[in-house]
Structure formats: C-alpha cells, structure tokens
Amino acid sequence: MKNLVFVKLGGSLITDKAKPYTVRFDVIKRLCKEIHEARQVKGMTILVGHGGGSFPHVSAKQYETHKGVINDKSWEGFSRVHDDAARLNRIVVGSLIEAGENAVSIQPSAACHAKNDRITEWYTRPIENSLVHGLIPVPYGDVCHDDVKGCCIISTEEILRFLARRLRPQRIIMAGKTDGVLNELGALIKEINRKNFHDVKEALETSDGFADVTGGMMQKVAMAMGMGVEVEIINGLKPGVLKRSLLGEKGLGTVIKG
C-alpha cells in the first residue's frame, strides 16, 4: 500500500497518567488537527493507534490482567480493562472526525487471538479496506484472549508490530511527551539500533514512574526494533512536530532501526 504511515499516540501524551481517567483534550484535538492538515497537503494513507494511559492501566494493575486468568476476578478485570480502553478510543476517534477525517474504531479484542501476549491471529481485511477507501482505522491497546494465559493485554506496539508485517508501512511515527528516548542524563538519543541498544537499556527501564502494565519505554523500544520498518519517536507536546514528521521531515526525535 503506497504512502502508508502508522502513527502511535502515546498514552502518557493523550492522558495524565498521574490522574486516573484524565484526558488531555487539548492535546488530542491539536494532534488530530495536525494529522488532518498533513493529509490535506500530502495525501498519505494513515493508521492511528493509541495507548491507554490513565484509562486501562489503572484497572489492569488492579486486576493484574497482564498476568492472565489468575483468580475468580480475572474475567471481571478483562471486561473492565476493555471498557476503559474503549472509552478512550471513542474520544480519539471522535476528535479525528471533528478534525475532518473519516476515522473508524478498530477493537482488537473482537478480532485478535494471542499466545503469551503476542498476536497470532487477526482478520485484517476490514482494516485494509478502510485504508483503501481513505478512512483512518484507529486500533488501541486492549485485552485479548490468550491460548496460554487465558487472557492478556496486547500493547499498541504489539498491534503495530503485527500490522506492520501485514501492511508494510513506509514508516512508523510514535508521538510521546519527550523529544524522543532520553538517556540517564536526560539527553536525547538520536538513534537506537542493534549495536547500541544494550548500552542505552538502563535508561529505558521505567515510564514516568506511574502504572504501565505494557512494560514502559524499554519494552516499547524493543518492540519498535522488531517492526521491520524505521520507527521515529517524537515529541507530541510540541505543536507542529507531528505534522512536520508526517510531511516527511526526519531527525525530529529518536530514530529506531531494527
């Protein structure tokens, strides 16, 4: 598929992870506007995924959903985590529509199956058809049935990894709330590849110090390296950076090469 770009809006970017169920409406609206403006100029095909931030991470931590079916409350947790994730997704989809895009929600838990947290099955033709017709599919980190654990949580990175293997995007842009990946001194790491990954690993152990059941920045970078396409992590809090990145400007953050 020509001119296909994946965009990930980080959970800590679009919500306040220090305050449960707190949406950054102004940030979401601006990012959606930048996506629309970039498409007006360049006409690229876009899939937008997003993290859960202070929505599903709260209930997932309470029920330990990432551990699978571990007690008689696990399926209650499965339901609540999904509901939290879906609530945030409707806000993102609604903001894209308000910005002028034909966005559609993609519920991973309705179509995916996993084994030990990795997606093994997903009927993706509806996503492909949406892209062909110029719609923006919007999947999100969600719960999933799992052959080994009973249930699991599939991160947005895992979703993008699976879809990247199927759809072959030209690039993947991940918008967070820092200039990219920072080392232990707070300096930007311009590029992460297989040669220097272990050298920067210690700086990637946590994600803001708040609940993140999908593994924090280290896991996100590790997943990005396995996507089979160049990934760049940029600062979504800086107005215009996402638009510039979508229009083809590179070197705005941390480039990750597998």
- Domain spans in the chain, listed from the N-terminal domain onward: 4-256
Residue 1: how many other CB atoms lie within 10 Å: 12
Residues 56, 152: Cα–Cα separation, whole Å: 13
CATH superfamily label, 4-256:
Acetylglutamate kinase-like (3.40.1160.10)
pLDDT of 97 higher than 60: yes
pLDDT of 217 higher than 80: no
Q: Tell me the one-letter amino acid at 212.
A: D
Contacts of 240 (CB under 8 A, 6+ apart): 34
CA angle 29–34–40, rounded 5-degree value: 125
Which SS3 state, helix, strand or coil, does residue 19 take? coil
The residue among 63, 68, 131 whose CA lies nearest residue 101 is 131
101, two tokens: 């895009």
State the chain's mean pLDDT as an integer. Answer: 92
pLDDT tens track for 155-213? 999 999 999 999 999 999 999 999 998 887 888 999 999 888 887 776 665 444 444 44
